[in-house]
Amino acid sequence: MEQKVPVGNEGYAEEAESLARQYESVVFADVHRHVLSLLPATPSNVLDIGAGTGRDAAAMAVMGHRVVAVEPTAEFCDRAARLHPSPRIEWVRDHLPHLALLTQRGGRFDVVMLTAVWIHLGAPQRREAMPRVAALLRPGGILLLNLRHGPSPPGRRRLFPASAEETVTLAASHGLRLTGKAEHQADFYGRPEVTWTSLGFRKGESP
Q: Encode pLDDT of 142-156 as tens digits.
A: 999 999 999 877 765
- Are 206 and 187 spatial neighbours (Cβ–Cβ below 8 Å)? no
Alpha-carbon Rg for the chain, nearest whole angstrom, is: 16
Residues, the chain: 207
Note whether residue 105 is domain-resident. Answer: yes
Note whether residue 85 is domain-resident. Answer: yes
- The DSSP H or E segment spanning 75 is helix 74-83
Note whether residue 141 is domain-resident. Answer: yes
- Are 56 and 48 spatial neighbours (Cβ–Cβ below 8 Å)? yes
Domain hosting 75: range is: 33-148+160-177
Residue 5 has pLDDT above 50, yes or no: no
Note whether residue 84 is domain-resident. Answer: yes
d(CA 146, CA 100): 23
Note whether residue 23 is domain-resident. Answer: no
Note whether residue 197 is domain-resident. Answer: no
Closest C-alpha to 47, from 177, 143, 126: 143
- Selected residue with higher pLDDT from 78 and 51: 51
CATH number of the CATH domain containing 76: 3.40.50.150
According to DSSP, the residues that pair with 67 across neighbouring strands are: 46, 89
The rounded percent of the chain whose pLDDT value lies above 70 is: 87
> Read out DSSP for 143-186?
EEEEEEESPPPSSS-------HHHHHHHHHTTTEEEEEEEEEEE
Mean pLDDT of 5-25: 60
State the pLDDT at residue 97. 93
The count of domains in the chain is 1
Note whether residue 142 is domain-resident. Answer: yes
- Selected residue with higher pLDDT from 15 and 70: 70
Note whether residue 70 is domain-resident. Answer: yes
